[in-house]
Structure 1
């Protein structure tokens, strides 16, 4: 590893014409300037000023020269400037003029054309020296695309034969604060804002669940169990008694999952209850549900995937969240079929009980709404029928006030079934066909939600209608979702991959196009239905850059489209993680000195005002919706206001960047301190303890790591292992890994400058559904180096090098 001083010596040697140590002044000749780069000319010119003690407003120059032993800055301790240009000799002035003329000439070559393609002239990047040694392949990427991305990863446990290997950034603000430490200008990415919104979304949701919803679920479950027991003991109707007995079993399981207390139940169902508890807590995979099919009737399709009970997402973080997850997963996974008489009767009884019974002067249906409505705001409506719809069936078919015994009337049951099927046919839902789960009308006590990307994933998988069913495309891809959301690049990649994989499902391209057309018809208001939709709407602004903006060079190529695609996929995987319980599967220096401080470095914002505008709407929607539901504490409201102010500021800066307006020094200073603001917001949202202000004080190591994982699709397929064909239950996992470094060339006042920012990494792979990954397992895989590689289509996109070691100057000016 080179020392900082050796790097500076090399820099001065490269300049070759240095005024340090010269005993006599000499005029620079044109011949001496031939072959020198703009960066060299720029530093030579400013070194003349430095020799005379000039203080530099340009941040990088100030830090660089103040790190040199020979530099005597012309500023008093009180900040008043003693330097004036009178210190310049006649030869100094002539040399400055010659260098400035050469500089102006070379500035015309910021962009060059090679083989008909416009490229960046990397010799003109005036601060390249700040970034250590870049490999030729990365200089070529900077030239061709205007940016390069370094994939950070953990060094392998056995060590690597490298002189230097960086530890990856586990949070975005780590990199931005590292920029401050090294005096490097920020490139503020949309990724960083999406990561911060994920934290806001995830932590407000988990706080809602653990503090508000978990106690209500406990009460509601206990009450429904108690009422079902009473009905079983009191009714003399055989059919109602059978339905009540099954409902006792149905509510006894989540009662145990919530409290771990074993109740005493009728002998007929005690064994069934214990069996269901064992299967749920053991996450055994797909098996028959004995509550709904106690006789294992092969004609009754009532399998359940118990591997779904593997606690994952943010639900691993506390005992309350674990129990809440188990109970809600039970309610969301189990279904009552309208075409099975006992199932239908059970669901009608449950609905009547909810609307007829109270707890502490509140109807049980109000407790149910207390759970359901806030989660609708986050994720959306259930894609199954529930108590609200079945209440309409009750009132229409049976009347408003009836005894339980009337529910078993066969004629009215048939009418109720017909009405349920009519309502179900109009319901927007995810049709699951992988496991022969019936597509007939179903009731769920607390159904999982319709989310648009699940519909995309489901409709772009295909099996034959034969028995046994043959998979044509058993697993979708994240690219499917991004294609339908408007990414032409995603469509191109996924269609090419489909062909390379044999084009087994011939109708895939047609179905992809059909879905794309359908979703293109959604209005902006449609995309603001709930926070889930609104999050996807923000991602659409990355996939389809809005016309009418003067985008910088780095955004005008296919490579940036791929970067945005990776960003969108990574953010989408965070979204799926968060809702895993609910979702269905510088110019010449000028005079005029005042009290002296340098100007801040010229940081840049990813120039996508449409994204920041949509994110501003999403944040406002989030804050207002929580406030209207009395779910927003005063401290959290203040955090939302700070986040909204930040995004509004970034929106204004990005508008300036795309309309060629001047960004003020005050704005640049705020951009440069972005890392500290990002850290403060992140910490404040992760804890309600106002005394915690340092990252190391956060208790959860899992939460301190940006890496998260979510399983989004499951299928049982035949695979070959050890020469034998076996059936395996596989899940499609999507997730975020370590933070990657992105180097972006920006143009400031006519000069090319290199900036550094943080961006997402994205992973997508098949994994055993019986071992669905938690965040903890995923982070351990990454640290051990046992994780699968990123998707094939990203290969070759990232640098093959480690990020360069950024040298730290002996002097860095810090802004408060």
Structure 2
């Protein structure tokens, strides 16, 4: 790894050489009296919102579907004109046999462009386009809109991502900077009060706070639209300034102002760490955190510092990503005295008062509670557990820094570490000759660590962790790189389960039949454990509740449902829906979620045209859980005073809630065989969803690239094979479905996900920009679709 650009090496050498005197507290200066003990305040991360109630819909499916073939559909010619396509013989045969058909956007008249009125998002723009013009007089039979889980899940993704992005830019990044400024200043103050070992330990802690602080200070900071108005900015200044890329050189120059506050040795380690982070390449030992493991055994995957997801959009988001990734992935391993010592000092630091007299842990708590709401609770030991453990073991709530280097205290804590829970997800690169002789449980037990803003537990990563293995000892053979199919399979998807077995037979070397059977046994154990998860755990975060919502997709539909939902291929299409939305979930929570590693109307008086008859896909379990997810989100916003306007009558979240309630009511009527009113059909046609993708930043104007639906997320790192597993979505599909409720055979048109899965080398990580360049500019270079996808495609 090239740690320093040549041009900077000389500068840094000079900067280090200019330090002639060691700062106070490192040399012969006598130590001040020991700081008075501080009470470690108890902290409980409160639930963001209560578990929303489940309202059971009692329906006996009795839809009478008269749909036959596409040529009998009353609006077939109009639909073909709307999309600008002519179906091939193979497509007609597929549609007639399975009653649905996926059509790539690239094959329609919308190839290579966004339609008029698609201000905010490609996929939602496609959905809105299907409904036709808003004027009743201009509606046509082909404007028969099909509402699928795909479009609703995508709409939620856009809203979720935009709200999180806004909070990070204008609330969480400033809060993190304030926390780090105060933590660094306090650590340096304590360092100067001591000498010897305790001063040295405090200097390391101060350095660990300084690195992410430098990263944040190196960013171009955002000023909210509301704040600009208050400050009287000119009208032309109300939109965001052009993004300025932050540089490694700028970060190292920013580090220079702290040079005199650190010893040359520690300053050099800080410079090396910052360089590693900005280069974001390869795997190596962290100069500031590698000390907590045996030499060379624990390595940092610096590719993780490549800003991805929405964090690549602006300088501040990139800085926030790098800083939180640093604080989330780096750990104070507790199996060495140095790790325990510094974790003790961190607890004392968090209990220390800031300029306002409040302990620093107050800012920590606020940041953790909001991010936990979005992405889930930390998987590793954080301040609340560590504090309670220390109080129990040491027998007192007060703690003095000197105890952090007291051998008797360290021994006492070390002997009680078994009382602390291990992490459930292994997310470190462990390089050790002892790995093949250890089980994953033993590796996890050895990975007990304190993390400041530890990355979050997620049920899907837990599933993948239990169904993969690196070079550790296992009772059954497991792959080192999984497929995302393991997640829906564990949630009960029979098609995904079958495909998971087929995936294993394509491994190198292929799994034998007994090995596949043994894997299925492990999969069944994981599935059984997932069934035991209570609602209070599913509703511990929006991310977990989102995954629970996806768990409503894996089911089969029999008589009384539309014919297109009854066929075997529809179950495969549901796998695609699951993985498409799962990709968006992992994309949105990429920074926080802990990743699994394998080691090693117009007013006209004329009679309006007949109302087009759209259709709502009647998966009632899905609609019920979607209502709960939105209610949970709204309750959390209200509790923490976030986005107050979103909860008002004309707020977007409130409108979305009412829209989902309306779609649910239509799905119930369809299944009951009851007719929909003309007003309901017109509302179904005319009310779109693109408004949910509008950015939270007022005055935002999106370039066409920013509207693209394609995105990518890395979900698993395989250190054994040196590769990364990616889930991605491409250009959305249009989906046609033949339906015939109310004795009206017709084609309905909606949108659907287009999912990909592939691996890439563990040298760097792909961003949305990298992926979109392939999707939209060079589609022939796209990776092949997964093997299980082939039955869905008719050409």
Q: CA deviation at 1:121?
A: 3.6
1:447 equivalent to 2:398? Answer: no
Indicate the residue corresponding to 1:460 in structure 2. 467
Q: CA deviation at 1:545?
A: 5.0
Indicate the residue corresponding to 1:225 in structure 2. 184
TM-score (normalised: structure 1) = 0.75
Aligned residue pair count = 643
Q: Deviations over 1:428-449 (max 9, x none)?
A: 5457676569532111111000
Q: CA deviation at 1:554?
A: 0.7
Aligned partners of 2:172 and 2:367 also within 8 Å: yes
Indicate the residue corresponding to 2:101 in structure 1. 148
RMSD of aligned C-alpha atoms?
2.6
Aligned partners of 2:298 and 2:428 also within 8 Å: no
Q: CA deviation at 1:737?
A: 1.0
What residue ranges of structure 1 are gaps of 5+ in the alignment? 1-107, 112-119, 156-163, 586-593, 719-728, 801-816
Indicate the residue corresponding to 2:155 in structure 1. 196
Q: Distance in 2 between matches of 1:465 and 1:173?
A: 45
SS at 2:505 equivalent = helix
SS at 1:765 equivalent = strand
Alignment of 1:673-752 (within 5 A): 673-674=686-687, 677-683=688-694, 686-689=695-698, 698-718=701-721, 729-752=722-745
Alignment of 1:299-698 (within 5 A): 299=295, 301-398=297-394, 399-425=396-422, 428-430=424-426, 439=444, 440=446, 441-465=448-472, 473-501=479-507, 502-503=510-511, 507-544=518-555, 550-585=560-595, 596-635=607-646, 637=648, 638-674=651-687, 677-683=688-694, 686-689=695-698, 698=701
With over 3 angstroms needed to count, the CA separation of the structure-2 counterparts of 1:463 and 1:546, relative to structure 1, is: same
1:254 equivalent to 2:215? Answer: no
Correspondence for 1:244 among 190, 198, 202 = 202
Q: CA deviation at 1:466?
A: 7.5
Q: Distance in 2 between matches of 1:173 and 1:311?
A: 26
Aligned partners of 2:163 and 2:696 also within 8 Å: no
Q: Distance in 2 between matches of 1:465 and 1:348?
A: 31
TM-score (normalised: structure 2) = 0.77
Aligned partners of 1:570 and 1:760 also within 8 Å: yes
What residue ranges of structure 2 are gaps of 5+ in the alignment? 1-63, 81-85, 115-120, 134-138, 219-253, 436-442, 596-604
The more displaced of 599-608 and 268-277 is 599-608
SS at 1:738 equivalent = coil
Correspondence for 1:789 among 779, 784, 787 = 784
Alignment of 1:85-164 (within 5 A): 120-132=68-80, 133-153=86-106
Asked which structure has the greater CA Rg, the reply is: 1
With over 3 angstroms needed to count, the CA separation of the structure-2 counterparts of 1:352 and 1:545, relative to structure 1, is: farther
Aligned partners of 1:348 and 1:407 also within 8 Å: yes
Q: Deviations over 1:426-473 (max 9, x none)?
A: x55457676569532111111000101001112111234489xx9961
Aligned partners of 2:617 and 2:667 also within 8 Å: yes
Aligned partners of 2:377 and 2:540 also within 8 Å: no
The more displaced of 226-235 and 647-656 is 226-235
Q: Distance in 2 between matches of 1:742 and 1:256?
A: 49
Indicate the residue corresponding to 2:18 in structure 1. none
Indicate the residue corresponding to 2:194 in structure 1. 235
Aligned partners of 2:488 and 2:554 also within 8 Å: yes
Q: Distance in 1 between matches of 2:427 and 2:732?
A: 36
Q: Deviations over 1:95-124 (max 9, x none)?
A: xxxxxxxxxxxxx9957xxxxxxxx34443
Indicate the residue corresponding to 1:167 in structure 2. 112
Q: Deviations over 1:262-305 (max 9, x none)?
A: 122221201100000000110122101122346x9864633111
Q: Distance in 2 between matches of 1:297 and 1:110?
A: 68
With over 3 angstroms needed to count, the CA separation of the structure-2 counterparts of 1:300 and 1:123, relative to structure 1, is: closer
Q: Distance in 1 between matches of 2:365 and 2:417?
A: 21
1:773 equivalent to 2:766? Answer: yes
The more displaced of 171-180 and 264-273 is 171-180
Q: Distance in 1 between matches of 2:614 and 2:79?
A: 15
Q: CA deviation at 1:360?
A: 1.9
- With CA pairs under 8 Å and 6+ residues apart, which has the higher RCO, 1 or 2? 2
